[in-house]
Structure 1
C-alpha cells in the first residue's frame, strides 16, 4: 500500500469535519428524550431515521431501526470484512437527557451553535457527538481504503439515558446483533481536553425512593410546632446519616475503604472540573478524590419533594420524600448495596415515622480487560491521533449495557472512550463538544480499525 496510511486517514478525517458538523446539527435538532411525558415520541423516531440514513450512506449492510421491548428504536447494521478478520462492534446512543430549564441555557439547546470554537447543544457530546466520531471514522476508512479492513457492526440504541433496558433486552433476544471480538463503547471521554483516555472501570448504581410520613395531614406550625413530628425534618436527619463529617459515604454494612490504583485525580483539577465555589473543598474522606470517585460507594440525594419556597406555608410537614442515588465500585454487588441502603434509610429514620423505601433503578458495574490485542491497538491508535500517551480512568456513571454485553459476549474485549471531557458539561446546561476532540477521536477509531485489520504496524506506520 503506497503512501502513509495514517497520514491519509488523518487527512480524510480532517476533510470530513464540515460535513460532520452539518450532520450533528441535524441530530441535535431532534429532541430525542426517550420519555413521551417530556418530548414527543416522534422526535426519537426522527433521530433513529437520521442514524439509519447516516449508516446506510457510510456503506454498512442491513441497516435498520429495530423496535426494542421498552418502545425505543435501536439502529443496527453489520457488514463483512476480509475472511478471518476480527469483528468489531461500534456502540453509541441517539437519545439524550432532557434540557431541564431552556431559559438556563445561553444558547438554544436544540440548535447546534458554535461559540468560542466549541459546538453547543443537547447531545452535542453525549452521545450524538460520539456517534458522529464513529461515522467520521468509517467514512474516512471507506474513502481511503475502498473496503473494510475488519467486519464492522454498529449498534445505536434509543433509550440509554432512561436506563429502561431496551437495548439489553433486544441483545438478549438477538445475541447475533452484538456478536464481536472487540466492542468499542463510544459513550465516555477524556479526563482533560486533548489527553487520550480509556475508561477501564464503571461504577454500579442503584437509586432508592424514600417516603417518610408522620401525620395524617400537615399541622399549623404555630399551634402544633415543636411537639408535632416534622416529616421533612425526620427525612433530613435520615439523609444526614449517609455521610460522615469528611464526606465519606457511611451506609451500614457497606465497605468504604477501597483505594483507586489507576491514574490519580488531582484535587486542583477536580476543583476546576466540578466548578467548586471559593472556599469549598473536594470531599476525600480518609483517602483521595479518586478513591471517592471510583473505589468507594457514594450516596447522593438527587431529588427532594417538600413544600417549595414559592408556596411556603406555616405548617409542619406530614410527608416528605427523596431519591437517593447510590454508586458503587465494579467489584461490589450493586443489588446488595441497594438493599443495604434501603435498610439503612428505614433504620435511621427518627420519631417512629412510617418509612417506605423502595428501589427504583439498578445498574451493575464493569471492569475492562486491559491485556488483549484490541486494547493494545487502541493505545497505539490514540497515541497517534492525540500525540500523547494514553491514560486510564474510572467513570462515576454506569453504562448498564457494558455489563450485559460482557456477559453476552464474554470473549470480546470492551473498550470505552469518547469525545466528552470536563468542559462538555454533559447532562447539564450548555452541553458542548470541542470539534478538535471529535476529530481526534474519529481518527483514533479509524486507525484502530486499520490496525486490527493488519494494515498498520506496531508503531502506527504502514505494515
Structure 2
C-alpha cells in the first residue's frame, strides 16, 4: 500500500519523475562535455591573474543558460565592490518568472576557481580536464563548475520532462566567490527584484560519501587578514648584530605560536565553540581523507568532526619573506603573514576578528610593531531545517540517491550566505553540492566523481519537479 507523503512534502507525478530520469541519463554525456569545456577556461578571480579568463567563463556560462531555452533574460552583470573602488568580476544572471502562483527557486553557484598552484603538484594538467576511472580531474571540476553544470543539467532535464512549466527559476552564477565575493552584497541589492525567491539552492558544498547525499546545515565563518610584523628600520648583518637584535622572523615565530595551545587547539580568548552534536567519524577516516602522514597526530580536542564543524581554527596560509634560495645572512626588518581563521557557527565575525587582534597585540614579543591589513570577514551560518523546502530536498535526494540524506556541518565558509539571508529574509536556503571527501577542492588534483555528480544533478531536477507540483507558492 502506498504511504501518504510526509507533511510539508509533495510527490512529483510518477510520469514526470520517470521522464526526468530518462532525460538525465540521455543528457549526461553532453553535460560532462560542457563541464569539461568550462574547466578548460582558467577563470581564476584573484587580482594577480588575467581577468579576461573570468569574462570568457562568464560568457560560456551565459551561453549554456541561453541554450536551455527556458529563460526570458540571461545577462552578464557586474557590481561595485563594497568600498566602491572598482567593479567586481562578471556574474551571470538568468530569470524565468513564476506563473499561476507557483513558487520561485534561485539557483546559485560560482564559475571562478582557485589558483592552480604549481603544475608539478598535479598528476594531470590543472586546466586540461582528464577522466581517470569515475573521476574527472581539473581545477574547478568540482568547485564549483560542477555546481554550475548541476544547475544547467537539472534545468535541461526538468524542462524536457515537464514541458511548459509554471515554476519560477532564477539563476545567479557568481564570478568572484574565490576572491571573497567583494561585490556580492551590492550585486544582490542591485538585482534584488530579479533574484527574489521562495527557496535558494547554494550548490557549493559536498556529500557524506560516494553513496550518501548530504544537506549542509552548519558552516563556519571566516576571518582573514594580512599581519605585518616589524622590528628594525632596515636590514642588518646577522653575524654582527644577531643575539642582541630581535629580527622580524624571530618575533613572528614567537608571536604566531601563541595562537595555539600545545595540543593545537586555538588559544585565543573570546573565540567560542558552537557545541554541535556530530556523527561518528574516526581518526582513520580523517587520515584517509585529509592525507595525514603516518606518525603525524591530529590536533585539538573533542570529537574529530566537532573540531572541524563546531570549533574555531586558525591557519597561517602565507608568509612573505626571502625564500631559501635567496636567504642571506641578514636580520629581516619586517615580514608579512596571511592569517586565516574559521569561527564557529553562532559567533559574529567582527567580534572574532577583534578577539584575534587583541590577542596578537597583547602577545607581540620584544615590542614588535604590528600592522593589520586587508581584513576580510564572513559570517557563519546555521540552517533552519524545519521548512517545506528542506522537506522537499530530502525527499528528492532520497529518490535520486536511493538513500536518505544526512545533515552535515562544513569546516569551510560560505560567507555570502549571511548576505542572502539579509537581502531575502523570507527565503529558505538550502546548501547542497556535488563534492565528496575525495574531491580535494582548493588542492592539487581536484576531481569530481561522476556518479556523485549525476545523482546530485538528478536530485536537483526532481526537486524542481516537486516545487512545480506544489501548486501555489507558500
Task: Please indicate the TM-score interval, normalised by the length of the shorter structure.
Answer: over 0.9
Could you state the TM-score of these two structures normalised by the residue count of structure 2? 0.92
User: How many angstroms apart in 1 are the aligned matches of 2:380 and 2:365?
Assistant: 33
- Deviation, 1:137, is 0.8
Label 1:152 to 1:2 Cα distance change in 2 as closer, same or farther (>3 A).
Answer: closer
Q: Deviations over 1:81-133 (max 9, x none)?
A: 44111111110111111112123212121121111221111111111111111
Q: 1:23 aligns with which of 6, 31, 34?
A: 34
Determine if contact 2:93/2:173 at 8 Å carries over to the other structure: yes
Which of 403-412 and 217-226 deviates more? 217-226
- Deviation, 1:363, is 0.9
User: How many angstroms apart in 2 are the aligned matches of 1:232 and 1:453?
Assistant: 61
- Deviation, 1:268, is 2.2
Determine if contact 1:17/1:439 at 8 Å carries over to the other structure: yes
Label 1:305 to 1:369 Cα distance change in 2 as closer, same or farther (>3 A).
Answer: same
Residue ranges of structure 1 left out of the alignment (5+ in a row): 457-463
Q: Tell me, yes or no, if structure 1 residue 194 matches structure 2 residue 211.
A: yes
Determine if contact 1:141/1:148 at 8 Å carries over to the other structure: no
SS in 1 for 2:412: coil
Partner of 2:63: 53
Partner of 2:446: 431
SS in 2 for 1:433: strand
User: How many angstroms apart in 2 are the aligned matches of 1:455 and 1:84?
Assistant: 10
User: How many angstroms apart in 1 are the aligned matches of 2:102 and 2:211?
Assistant: 31
Could you state the TM-score of these two structures normalised by the residue count of structure 1? 0.94
User: How many angstroms apart in 1 are the aligned matches of 2:448 and 2:149?
Assistant: 11
Partner of 2:338: 323
Label 1:62 to 1:350 Cα distance change in 2 as closer, same or farther (>3 A).
Answer: same
Determine if contact 1:188/1:418 at 8 Å carries over to the other structure: yes
Determine if contact 2:112/2:174 at 8 Å carries over to the other structure: yes
- Deviation, 1:262, is 4.1
- Deviation, 1:234, is 1.1
Determine if contact 1:66/1:74 at 8 Å carries over to the other structure: yes
Partner of 2:52: 42
SS in 1 for 2:18: helix
User: How many angstroms apart in 1 are the aligned matches of 2:352 and 2:47?
Assistant: 31
Any residues of structure 2 matched to 1:87-236 within 5 Å, and which? 87-148=104-165, 150-236=167-253
SS in 2 for 1:111: coil
Partner of 1:460: none
User: How many angstroms apart in 2 are the aligned matches of 1:35 and 1:210?
Assistant: 19
Partner of 2:310: 295
Label 1:432 to 1:281 Cα distance change in 2 as closer, same or farther (>3 A).
Answer: same
Partner of 1:260: 276
Q: Deviations over 1:166-208 (max 9, x none)?
A: 2321111231132100000001111322210011111111112
Determine if contact 2:105/2:201 at 8 Å carries over to the other structure: yes
Determine if contact 2:89/2:176 at 8 Å carries over to the other structure: yes
Q: 1:407 aligns with which of 422, 428, 442?
A: 422
- Deviation, 1:295, is 1.4
User: How many angstroms apart in 1 are the aligned matches of 2:285 and 2:160?
Assistant: 40
Partner of 1:368: 383
- Deviation, 1:25, is 1.6
Determine if contact 1:97/1:427 at 8 Å carries over to the other structure: yes
Partner of 1:271: 287
SS in 2 for 1:322: strand
- Deviation, 1:2, is 8.0
Give the length in aligned residue pairs: 453
